[in-house]
Amino acid sequence: PEMFAEFIFPYQLPILERFGLNCYGCCEPLDKRWRVVKNAPRLRRVSVSPWANLADLADKLGEQYIYSMKPHPGDLAVPSLNEERIRSELRRALQITRNCRVEIIMKDNHTIANNPQNVIRWCQIAREEAEAI
């Protein structure tokens, strides 16, 4: 976090200043960098990667920011989905973030094992789990 605060974030700030509302993050975990990232001007949405501490960021983001949940894309890269695993992981994450403003974004899908139905079914499961919370 110290190197990020010294060598990266200061160079991003002038760019962030040019925009009305800002989103921050991609696939890197931001839980250990939050004390720096929270200083982004007009921060609205924060990316929460599968490698982040979900509970820690849920506490830090609360209802003040959009918790942009990014589930692990590997679940779609198989010929046949493990629906119980997907459902269990989504349920766990949604329970952790139940007091947050959450969006779920499945991204970085470089392969879906030649099975487009994986994406359709994953979305159905995600909707079912979100509605159950």
| pLDDT profile of the chain (133 residues), mean per 10 | 96 98 96 98 98 98 98 95 98 98 95 95 98 95
The two tokens of residue 66 are: 């959009």
Amino acid at 1: P
Using CA atoms, how far apart are residues 9 and 132, in angstroms rounded to an integer?
38
Range of the domain at 115: 2-132
Helix (H) or strand (E) holding 46: strand 43-48
Beta bridge partners of 103: 68
Number of structural domains in the chain: 1
Q: What is the pLDDT of residue 68?
A: 99
For 60, the token pair is: 């830090």
Q: Using an 8 Å Cβ cutoff, are 68 and 47 in contact?
A: yes
pLDDT at 51: 96
The pLDDT, as a whole number, for residue 1 is 87
**What pLDDT, on the 0 to 100 scale, is given for residue 100?**
99
